[in-house]
Amino acid sequence: RTATVWKTLSPFWGEEYEVQLQPGFHSISIYVMDEDALSRDDIIGKVCITRDMLAEHPKGYSGWMSLSEVDPDEEVQGEIHLRVEVLGSQGSRRLCCSVLEAR
């Protein structure tokens, strides 16, 4: 979970996360949420980092990814800027993901 950036439609985070990739890894989803102080947080959308995407970019990927819907009844707009790369060897692979900014 990133830090909350209040009162902006274009937040900047610059935070980095690392997760272990299991041998059967297919995809990892990153959810973008709107945190509300007095009510339940809203899911704005998500992006999926897939095994195929990582295979297409063996040296890593950096770019804007469009948010996709989580709830089919909700319209989704926006993008998130991510930098991802796979670290380690086949037996112990890790995904390093930098969550940079959104718009």
Per-residue pLDDT tens digits of the chain, which is 103 residues long: 788 888 787 888 888 999 999 888 999 999 988 887 788 888 889 999 999 999 999 999 999 999 999 988 888 999 999 999 999 987 789 999 999 999 9
CB 15 within 8 A of CB 97: no
CB atoms within 10 A of CB 10: 9
Give the side-chain half-sphere CA count within 13 A for 91. Answer: 0
Length in residues, the chain: 103
CA 62, distance to chain mean position in Å, is 12
Structure confidence at residue 42 (pLDDT): 83
Structure confidence at residue 91 (pLDDT): 76
Q: CA–CA separation, 45 vs 69, rounded Å?
A: 5
